[in-house]
């Protein structure tokens, strides 16, 4: 089975031409006159006007629909630090998803830089031609420093999807799961196993949405992050609390929510059994979750569970977020993707999951029926209404929070009222 998948994947990337991307000409260039407009002498006219007003690049170039997907190759999928070039297939794949789901053009850039300041300087110097920057597969904690530095230097959105994209999908699904389990975010006891990019960003966003900081227990490889520890970097210190709990088993006792962004098979049946009534488990390690779903449901029939896998219900899939978030940001020429825009994306996804499921979605997933409930707390990636719910919500939040260069797009349908 593994060898079949390996060959199929390599053949897919090699044939009929190497790679997954190509460029496309968007204007006719078949006559001498058209050639003179596309290049010299006609091209001089947009050059002159952009030199006088940089914002006109949105009008006369592809900047407004172009995102750079950039990595240093330090944390590629589950493969670790494989180097910038080896990360290129993943960056191409990300570009495919941008184009397929939100019609956004992408250049993938693989930056061979070990030092944070070199990476930041490289990206900052080439950023002016893009409408946004999507950072990808960069190891923690360097990813936090890189994103902050680039956000401070640039006037276009800088978005680290492994942080914020994952956080947005987790939060949308969790809010719906809490509603179904008759619990509130403010009162929920939350355990987060994994203190990297995804874990820290998810807990930050949950706090902004109303989670109680003193009810969050975050764990890294050494156990619970508490104020007793002396080995914490500044990002982990943000989640250090006063507690005598040290191990995962101790943290899980009485927990309402478990979010795993760590590794396979780290949660035992006994740990799951010790959670509070009607627990919520997001076991997101890929391809093997922190606990196997059939085992989890056998131990706790009252749980709601999500994974990172497409062959189980409630897949936490970043493709639900980043294409549509950038679509909304680009459509108002946003200078950033701020917390207001992220929370708007959460709400758009949360509300869409409660809408009736379209027949074409049932056909695409070979389902007879599907409705909001324990096995459907997050929209499906092929739901065409994602474009109607997420980009308008993000665009409205950008305008209302003052980071948009333009007003709310007239071509948008009225955003869902939430």
Positions marked catalytic: 39, 94
What would the two tokens of residue 408 be? 């709310």
Q: Which residues are CB-contacts of 208 (< 8 A; sequence separation ≥ 6)?
A: 339, 343
How far apart, in whole angstroms, are the C-alpha atoms of residue 326 and residue 328? 5
CB atoms near residue 360 (< 10 Å): 11
Is the separation of the CB atoms in 405 and 332 below 8 Å? yes
Is the separation of the CB atoms in 116 and 144 below 8 Å? no
Of 235, 204, 236, give the one whose Cα is nearest residue 339. Answer: 204
Cα dihedral across residues 207, 371, 259, 284: positive or negative: negative
How far apart, in whole angstroms, are the C-alpha atoms of residue 225 and residue 18? 46
> Going by DSSP bridges, is the β-strand pair 66-71/132-135 parallel, antiparallel, or unpaired?
parallel
Of 213, 222, 223, 205, give the one whose Cα is nearest residue 189. Answer: 213
Q: How many CA atoms lie within 13 A of 55 on its CB side?
A: 7
Is the separation of the CB atoms in 110 and 176 below 8 Å? no
């Amino acid at each position: 089975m593994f060898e079949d998948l390996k060959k199929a994947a390599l053949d897919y990337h090699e044939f009929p031409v190497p790679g997954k991307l190509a460029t496309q000409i968007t204007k006719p260039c078949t006559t001498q006159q058209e050639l003179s407009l596309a290049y010299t002498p006609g091209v001089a006219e947009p050059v002159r006007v952009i030199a006088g007003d940089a914002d006109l690049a949105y009008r006369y170039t592809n900047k407004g629909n172009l995102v750079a997907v950039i990595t240093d190759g330090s944390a590629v999928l589950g493969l670790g630090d494989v180097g910038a070039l080896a990360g290129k297939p993943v960056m191409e794949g990300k570009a495919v998803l941008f184009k397929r789901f939100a019609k956004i053009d992408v250049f993938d850039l693989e930056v061979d830089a070990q030092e944070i300041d070199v990476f930041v300087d490289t990206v900052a110097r080439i950023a002016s031609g893009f409408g946004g920057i999507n950072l990808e597969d960069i190891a923690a904690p360097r990813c936090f420093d890189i994103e902050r530095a680039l956000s401070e230097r640039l006037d276009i959105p800088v978005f680290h999807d492994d942080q914020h994209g994952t956080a947005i999908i987790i939060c949308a699904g969790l809010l719906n799961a809490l509603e179904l389990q008759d619990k509130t975010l403010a009162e929920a006891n939350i355990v987060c196993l994994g203190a990297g990019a995804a874990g820290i960003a998810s807990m930050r966003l949950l706090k902004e949405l109303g989670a109680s900081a003193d009810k969050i227990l975050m764990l890294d490889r050494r156990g619970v992050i508490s104020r007793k520890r002396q080995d914490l970097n500044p990002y982990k210190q943000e989640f250090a609390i006063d507690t005598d709990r040290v191990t995962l088993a101790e943290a899980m006792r009485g927990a309402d929510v478990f979010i795993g962004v760590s590794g396979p098979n780290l949660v035992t049946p006994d740990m799951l059994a010790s959670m509070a009534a009607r627990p919520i488990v997001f076991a997101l390690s890929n391809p093997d979750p922190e606990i196997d779903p059939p085992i989890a449901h056998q131990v706790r029939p009252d749980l709601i569970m999500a994974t990172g896998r497409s062959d189980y219900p409630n897949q936490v899939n970043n493709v639900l977020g980043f294409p549509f978030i950038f679509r909304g940001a680009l459509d108002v020429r946003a200078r950033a993707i701020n917390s207001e825009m992220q929370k708007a994306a959460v709400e758009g996804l949360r509300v869409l999951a409660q809408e009736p499921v379209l027949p074409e979605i049932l056909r695409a997933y070979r389902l007879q029926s599907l409705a909001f409930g324990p096995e459907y707390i997050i929209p499906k990636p092929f739901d065409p209404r994602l474009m109607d719910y997420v980009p308008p919500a993000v665009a409205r939040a950008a305008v209302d929070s003052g980071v948009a260069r333009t007003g709310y797009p007239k071509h948008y349908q009225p955003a869902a009222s939430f």
